[in-house]
Amino acid sequence: MTAAGMRMRPIRLGDVSYPYHYGHDCIDDILAALGEYDADRFLVVTDDNVLALHGEALLEGLRALAPVEVLSLPAGDGMKSLGHLAGHLERAVAAGATRRSVVIAFGGGVPGNLAGVLAALLYRGVRMVHVPTTTVAAMDSVISLKQAINSSRGKNHFGTYLTPQAVYLDVALLRTLPDKQLRSGLCEATKNCLAIAPHAIPAMRKLLADGDLTAPESLLWLLEESLAAKTGVTAKDAREQGSGLILEYGHTVGHAVELCDQKLRGAQGVSHGEAVMFGMLVAARIAAELGVLTADEVAVHDELARALGAPLTVPAGITVDEIMATVRSDNKRGYMTAGPDEAVMVLLRGFGEPLGSPDLPLVTVPLRLVEDVVSGLLPAAARLAEEVAA
């Protein structure tokens, strides 16, 4: 639906497309657009933090359009479970949802994924729109058809593909983010610079060094660069199973660290973006060990991670064995043949230049090399303890 007064960029993923509307201080425009859906009910999938911060801005206006059922849970990756999905589906049906209902993914990438699977399953598919409130969601996860939840063994093991009706972003919502969450999304934008759009690296370095990250012009620049980078590789690979796998840079070890830390600290653990940035530090060092990435290129990774406040060492309390157990069940293993002692990863031979083929930017890496690099990034005290234990 249209959103007067907002900019619009079409997101083309393979043979499907949907509009991405964005602007500043435009919540009224978003509500006007949602009113055109003729929904008999809105199912708002969110988390308790987003609800407390932004619920009033959206929900009052929504209730003037149609009945609203709010499906909210405590924030954190633990939302993405089969149990919570089942609970939301049962509540939606009990509330009177029909095929005319519209699911609104309101928040970050976690409620967005949960909302996507819910919308795909409810009556075999109902309409869904994204209203992102985090930089991770706005600049990364909503630019995708992938919808997934976690298993007890790893991230995004259960899911499907669903095309949203549209994305509606008010960048003013991003300005209220805690600094940790703001920078989490910038880690994903940095991934796009390193792996896809190296021309943007100098501007990103300057922005992080002296820019106001919450200024509307900064957020809009970051958004537009992210949209251009991500759609550039998914235009011909909507399911991100070929060339689009470049977007998985940093995710093999990053997902493992994120999952382990979430189990240890819950929502207080490292964010998705921070974990991916750490995963890029690991990937860069592996590429350097293989002789395909220079020391200077590794140093740029470190510089950006430091400027973003991402972890430069393994988060305290997590062991190398825990990380490696999750790496072994990473969901990229099925894309190519890998031995029991190998991981499948995205590595770079230079900024914007992945190893592997253009159609499948993946390579196999000995698990022992991954383990050695991760071990080298343990905090000093933890490294000494592991050496003593060995």
pLDDT of residue 248: 94
Name the more confident of 174 and 70: 70
Query: What's the whole-number mean pLDDT along residues 59-79?
Result: 96
110 or 385, which is more confident: 110
Strand segments, DSSP code E, in 242-390 are 342-345, 348-350, 353-354, 363-366
Could you read off the pLDDT of 274-290 as tens digits, one per residue? Answer: 999 999 999 999 999 99
Sequence-separated (6 or more) residues with CB below 8 Å from residue 149: 80, 81, 82, 84, 85, 113, 114, 117, 156, 157, 158, 159
Structure tokens at 253: 């070890």
The more confident residue out of 375 and 390 is 375
The rounded mean pLDDT for the chain is 92
Q: Can you give the pLDDT at residue 384? A: 55
Q: What is the pLDDT of residue 389?
A: 61
What separation in angstroms does the CA of 127 have from each of 37, 98, 142, 147, 293? Answer: 9, 11, 15, 14, 44
Q: What is the pLDDT of residue 390?
A: 59
91: enclosing H helix or E strand: helix 82-94
pLDDT of residue 388: 53
Query: What does the pLDDT read at residue 154?
Result: 86
* 190-237 pLDDT, tens digit each: 999 999 999 999 999 998 887 778 888 888 898 899 899 988 888 888
Structure tokens belonging to residue 296 = 């200077």
Most confident range, picked from 76-90, 176-190, 226-240: 76-90
Q: What is the pLDDT of residues 245-272, one digit of tens each?
A: 999 999 999 999 999 998 898 878 899 9
Give me the CATH code for the 193-389 domain, please.
1.20.1090.10
5 pLDDT above the threshold of 80: no
Range with the poorest average pLDDT among 2-11, 77-86, 132-141: 2-11
Among 116, 143, 171, 129, smallest CA distance to 237 is for 143
Residue 168, SS3? strand
- What is the pLDDT, as a whole number, of residue 183? 84
CATH number of 7-177, picked from 3.40.50.300, 3.40.50.2000, 3.40.50.1970, 3.40.50.1000: 3.40.50.1970
Q: Do the domains at 7-177 and 193-389 have one common CATH topology?
A: no
Which tokens sit at 206? 């300057």
What is the predicted pLDDT for the residue at 383? 61
Q: What is the pLDDT of residue 240?
A: 86
Domain boundaries of the chain, sorted by first residue: 7-177, 193-389
pLDDT band at 18 (very low <50, low <70, confident <90, very high): very high
pLDDT of res. 148 = 96
pLDDT over 70 (residue 34): yes
Residues 104-110: what's their mean pLDDT?
96
Instruction: Give the model confidence (pLDDT) of 122-170 as tens digits.
Output: 999 999 999 999 998 998 899 999 999 999 988 899 999 999 999 999 9
Q: Say whether pLDDT at 306 is over 70.
A: yes
CB distance 46 to 55 below 8 Å: yes
Instruction: Tell me the pTM.
Output: 0.83
Pairing of strands 68-73, 42-47: parallel
pLDDT confidence bin for 4, thresholds 50/70/90: low
Beta partners for residue 70, in sequence order:
44
Give the residue numbers annotated as catalytic, written as ranges.
Answer: 146, 248
The pLDDT of residue 333 is 74
pLDDT of residue 385: 58
* pLDDT for position 346: 97
Q: Is the pLDDT of residue 11 over 90?
A: yes
